[in-house]
A and B are shown apart, each in its own frame.
Chain A
Amino acid sequence: MSEAPLVSIKNLHANAGETPILKGIDLELRAGEVHAIMGPNGSGKSTLSNVLVGKPGYEVTGGEVTFQGEDLTDMDPEIRARAGVFLAFQYPVEIPGVANNYFLRTAVNAVREHRGEEELDAIDFLTLLKEKMKLVEMPEDMMSRAINEGFSGGEKKRNEILQMLLLEPSFCILDETDSGLDIDALRIVANGVNQMRSPDRTMLVITHYQRLLDYIVPDHVHVLSGGRIVKSGDKSLALELEEKGYGWIDGVEEEGASS
């Protein structure tokens, strides 16, 4: 029947610092699929993405995560990245003094080396970079500027998607990529993401709002609440949530505090 999932999350429990946040997540992401995770503030959405990429400060306390059949939780973050796990950050950091293009080439070559491919020299890289920059409508002068320094919110998010396009990960996690974007920037970002949709790749789109899912149409929608997935469905679930909020779903813990 269907082949093994690309990413398999089983009964995942995790802490942020000392606080238990994820309380038993089960998810199977198959190649070619786009999954959306929705949920109220504080439901554990960002913790899930941070745990998947191995951010220090987050600890897996139970369950397992496999990626391409291998245990992900034992890998260092940079090894996960090279193996093809990518997180588009909700709040991309600025790194003064480090030129974007230099950084991107270093990252691309780290990934290529891991795949046993030859390093790209400056010229070949520039060709590739220009091609990908067009997809997210990035002006060329942004590449010689320091990473995200002085970038607008929209430019930072476009830069994240550009990195995804360059690194060609097989597991893409987008953490609230729509936050802080106006409608034009949202369209550009979604367009970049859609370019990446392919039968060998899976995506986990974490979002608070249905709006993004008008542009990046998911195959599956999951509602996360209190550290568990309380409901799953197809894209119509997102529309339903938009209309009715989260209150009608059994098991959703209503709370006002933002994450």
Chain B
Amino acid sequence: MASANPDLEKLAKQDYKYGFVTEIEEDRVAPGLTEDVVRLISAKKNEPEWLLEYRLKAYRRFREMLEDENGHPEWAKVSYPEIDYDEIVYYSAPKQEKKLESLDDLDPELRETYDKLGISLLEQKRLNGIAVDAVFDSVSVATTFKGELEKHGIIFCSFSEAVENHPDLVKKYLGSVVPYSDNFFACLNAAVFSDGSFAYIPKGVRCPMELSTYFRINAAGTGQFERTLLVADEDSYVSYLEGCTAPQRDENQLHAAVVELVALDRAEIKYSTVQNWYPGDENGVGGIYNFVTKRGACRGYKSKISWTQVETGSAITWKYPSCLLIGDESVGEFYSVAMTNKRQQADTGTKMIHIGKNTSSTIISKGISAGHGDQSYRGLVRMGPKAQGARNYSQCDSLLMGDQCGAHTFPYLEASNPTATVEHEATTSKISDDQLFFCRQRGISEEDAISMIVNGFCKEVLRELPMEFAVEAQNLLSVSLEGAVG
């Protein structure tokens, strides 16, 4: 039977809502990556010698990887023209005359940008109990609720401030979860990262509000290389949210971030991401290359790290938020919704590395592919020789819309302990014409029906998100999917 959905064609042309550009004076270095650029970035940020050394080591390793034909990750199922790393601007910051004394000193243009994005940086107009660190191009421009958090001994600030004010903590944990030599993009990040967020939750403290970082790429031809480091000391808890948008541009922009999480004894970190970088247009022009390394170390006994991600944006996503389950009885979780529409490509998944005894992990991955989107779930579950009684449950479901898209599953399993148990389930389904017609015959419009079915498909992941984020994610999925069937 014909599956004619002409109405959806026009809905497919839905605009990217965050595609505006802010006119703002920038402080940027010339394009290209040399040792001098690395030194310049470090100098601009008044960094201590040890950090410069760290960057330079990373820079030299990166050069080696660039020369080495196996240095660049070729295994991911994504394709894009070779990136010229000498054309990228590695540092761009909104020009600010002096250090901010308070949020009132913030450039009004910048504040307006965040208002447009729905992120209020003014504490009196705050979202209910969410502290925000806003990162604009390469630098953190504002962190809200600092005072309130300080009362609890919580440190939440830009990475640069952390380097300045808490160098010991940064030195102790930086690169301890993702070594600079870990992979090509992590190495690049270690050399040129410009800013990002840092949080430390002291022993026994339950962070009273959600911590949030909002990333915005603005300047053209700029890479964004931010670094996030989160440390939850013994018996502490923190929920962290990350949001991302970028203007609509014809060229591709590189985003290569590194996120490191450390959870000590009985600590719990919940890390949620709603990624909505510009995905490019229907012909695949423009969009962000999102090549990100995210990893958490459950170092402590009974510690827990939970990743939840809703990935709707980016031209290409390459991302595997992972857990190192070192502490006995530690828990790792990965809940993911990845959406590819138009010409988007995503190769995403997780790694659960079971090292300690009785460690457990859960992987719930929901992939939605529409238009000419192509995506792969790639996940590794490794049961180490000492991981007595370790358990993993993985569920990977794919939903296809139309017949031009693709979905693939690459589960890797390495078990070196006979007492470990691993379960894996995978399904692939389609939204059928009959399902859509059934909804329409009950008075529900086609777009609402698609959105309802997709949200139903993603339910197990969406319910892991904090409330405000869950609503945003649902809306985002609806917008990204309109016009996806036909």
Contacts and interface: CB of A to CB of B under 8 A. Distances in A.
Interface stretch (A90-98, A188-196, A199-207, A232-240): A90-98
B451 to A, nearest CB: 10
B438 A107 contact: no
Nearest to A18: B2
Interface stretch (A51-59, A221-229, A248-256): A51-59
A167 interface: yes
A53 B441 contact: yes
Interface in A53-84: 53, 55-57, 76-78, 81-82
Contacts of B439: 95, 103, 107
A143 to B, nearest CB: 15
Interface range on chain A (Cβ under 8 Å from partner): 20 to 34
B360 to A, nearest CB: 25
Interface in B438-472: 438-446, 448, 452-453, 455-459
B443 A78 contact: yes
Contacts of B452: 98, 102-103, 106
B83 interface: no
Interface residues of B, number: 28
Nearest to B3: A56
A185 B455 CA distance: 32
B434 A93 contact: yes
A165 to B, nearest CB: 13
B438 to A, nearest CB: 5
Contacts of B458: 97
A167 B443 contact: yes
A89 interface: yes
Given A107-B443, A110-B443, A114-B443, A95 B435 contact: yes
Nearest to B431: A95
A111 B443 contact: yes
A103 B442 CA distance: 9
B2 A167 contact: no
B456 A146 contact: yes
A25 B440 CA distance: 25
A251 B369 CA distance: 51
A102 B57 CA distance: 56
A43 interface: no
Contacts of B456: 95-99, 146
B443 A97 contact: no
B2 A82 contact: no
B432 A81 contact: no
> Which of B3, B429, B437, B453 is the most central at the interface, judged by chain A CB atoms within 10 Å of its CB?
B437
Contacts of B455: 97-98
Interface in A98-140: 98-99, 102-103, 106-107, 110-111, 114
A258 to B, nearest CB: 18
A122 to B, nearest CB: 16
A98 B458 CA distance: 10
A107 B444 CA distance: 6
A173 to B, nearest CB: 10
A103 B429 CA distance: 20
B457 A97 contact: yes
Contacts of A53: 441
A29 interface: no
A112 to B, nearest CB: 9
A17 B1 CA distance: 6
A87 B438 CA distance: 9
B444 A92 contact: no
Contacts of B442: 81, 103, 107, 110, 163, 167
Contacts of B457: 96-97
Given A55-B437, A95-B435, A95-B438, A110 B453 contact: no
> Which of B435, B440, B446, B458 is the most central at the interface, judged by chain A CB atoms within 10 Å of its CB?
B440
B433 interface: yes
A87 B4 CA distance: 21
Nearest to B7: A76
A77 B4 contact: no
Contact of A77 (B3, B440, B453): B440
A78 B459 contact: no
A98 B450 CA distance: 11
A78 B438 contact: no
Contacts of A146: 456
Contacts of A110: 442-445, 448
A87 B429 CA distance: 26
Contacts of B434: 93
Contacts of B435: 93, 95
16 contacts: A56-B433, A56-B437, A57-B1, A57-B433, A77-B441, A78-B443, A81-B442, A93-B438, A96-B429, A97-B459, A99-B456, A107-B442, A110-B442, A146-B456, A167-B442, A167-B443
Shortest beta-carbon contacts, A-B, top 7: A97-B456, A98-B456, A57-B1, A110-B443, A107-B442, A81-B443, A77-B440
Given A78-B444, A98-B456, 4 more contacts: A17-B2, A97-B458, A106-B448, A111-B443
